[in-house]
């Protein structure tokens, strides 16, 4: 997790359930092979980049787990809203496309 959102995350009250996270708040730091998120945490604990509160671990199947003070909990990416489609936009045509009588 980037530093600025980490400070906000650390000060926010604990909420149970899946955390909604934004891709812009995270940058990939590497990969590790471990049986589960707690094994990964243990392996990285003494490294130069340990797993800290607010960090995400992503499993091979895409499942996200976020590190909280109480342990790891499920997380999900917040998807941006779809671009609105303007159905009233005029459709252009050439003179060869005009129906007869115009």
Tokens 């243990």 belong to 42
Tokens 């650390």 belong to 10
Closest CA to 49 of 102, 99, 1: 1
The 10s digit of each residue's pLDDT in 21-36 is: 888 888 898 999 999 9
Model pLDDT, residue 10: 61
d(CA 24, CA 101): 55
How many domains would you assign to the chain? 1
Specify the DSSP element, H or E, that contains 58: strand 56-58
Model pLDDT, residue 45: 92
Residues of the chain with pLDDT under 50: none
Phi (first) and psi of residue 74, to 5 degrees: -65, 150
Residue 83 lies in a domain: no
Residue 19 lies in a domain: yes
Q: What is the pTM of this model?
A: 0.66
Residue 88 lies in a domain: no
Its domain, for residue 57, covers: 3-77
């Amino acid at each position: 997790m980037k530093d600025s959102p980490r400070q906000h995350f650390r000060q926010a009250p604990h909420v149970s359930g899946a955390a909604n996270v934004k891709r812009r708040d995270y940058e990939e730091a590497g990969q590790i092979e471990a049986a589960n998120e707690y094994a990964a945490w243990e392996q990285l604990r003494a490294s130069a980049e340990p797993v800290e509160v607010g960090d995400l671990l992503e499993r091979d199947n895409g499942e996200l787990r976020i590190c909280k003070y109480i342990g790891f909990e499920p997380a999900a990416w917040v998807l941006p809203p779809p671009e609105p489609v303007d159905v009233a936009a005029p459709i252009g045509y050439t003179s060869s496309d005009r129906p007869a009588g115009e």
